[in-house]
């Protein structure tokens, strides 16, 4: 009887410690369509607007290069603890690519990736990264970028 209880406890701990990675549900093309938007403005103005929006919503800009049109940023890290897993660290990584399509027309693509890392006291590490696929999140960001572009165009 004691062996059965111990065996069940070990199995329960093994299963409880396992974390499954969520599956990506959208195709690459579907994801690209919700992550991209065109604006009637120059690349320079769109770049500045995207940079400002990322900072306004709390992201730390890690790199930004107007020539390449690439911005990388990271949200504040949320630390936590999960029973049987250990310490957890969660954040969102953002990349933005801004390109000029034609004069005064820029395309912005923003990619958000949820990142989760786990670490136990025994040196075991794990984690995963998953693209954020919620269209409303991108629509909200693009609305803020549009506002930023409007302000910049009307103050020049």
The answer to whether position 101 is within a domain reads yes
> What is the residue range of 58's domain?
41-150
- pLDDT value, residue 24: 61
The answer to whether position 131 is within a domain reads yes
pTM recorded for the entire structure: 0.77
The answer to whether position 71 is within a domain reads yes
The answer to whether position 103 is within a domain reads yes
- pLDDT value, residue 35: 97
86 — alpha (psi -120 to 50), left (phi > 0) or beta?
A: left
H helix runs in the chain, sequence order? 2-16, 28-35, 43-56, 135-154
- pLDDT value, residue 87: 82
Q: Can you tell me the distance from the alpha carbon of 48 to that of 46, in angstroms, rounded to the nearest whole number?
A: 6
What are the mean pLDDT values of the chain's consecutive 10-residue runs (156 residues total)? Answer: 51 47 74 96 97 96 98 91 77 97 96 88 78 96 97 85
- pLDDT value, residue 84: 67
Q: Are 82 and 90 spatial neighbours (Cβ–Cβ below 8 Å)?
A: no
The answer to whether position 34 is within a domain reads no
Which of 44, 120, 135 lies closest to 88, judged by CA?
A: 120
The answer to whether position 69 is within a domain reads yes
CATH code of 114's domain = 3.30.310
The answer to whether position 133 is within a domain reads yes
């Amino acid at each position: 009887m004691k062996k059965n209880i111990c065996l069940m406890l070990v199995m329960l701990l093994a299963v409880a410690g396992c974390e499954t990675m969520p599956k990506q549900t959208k195709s690459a093309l579907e994801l690209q369509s919700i992550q991209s938007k065109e604006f009637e403005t120059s690349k320079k103005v769109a770049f500045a607007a995207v940079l400002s929006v990322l900072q306004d919503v709390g992201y730390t800009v890690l790199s930004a290069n107007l020539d390449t049109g690439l911005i990388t940023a990271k949200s504040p890290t949320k630390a936590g603890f999960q029973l049987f897993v250990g310490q957890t660290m969660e954040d969102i990584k953002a990349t933005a690519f801004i390109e000029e399509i034609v004069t005064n027309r820029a395309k912005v693509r923003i990619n958000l990736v949820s990142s989760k890392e786990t670490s136990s006291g025994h040196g075991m590490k794990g984690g995963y990264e998953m693209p954020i696929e919620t269209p409303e999140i991108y629509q909200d960001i693009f609305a803020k970028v549009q506002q930023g572009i409007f302000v910049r165009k009307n103050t020049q």
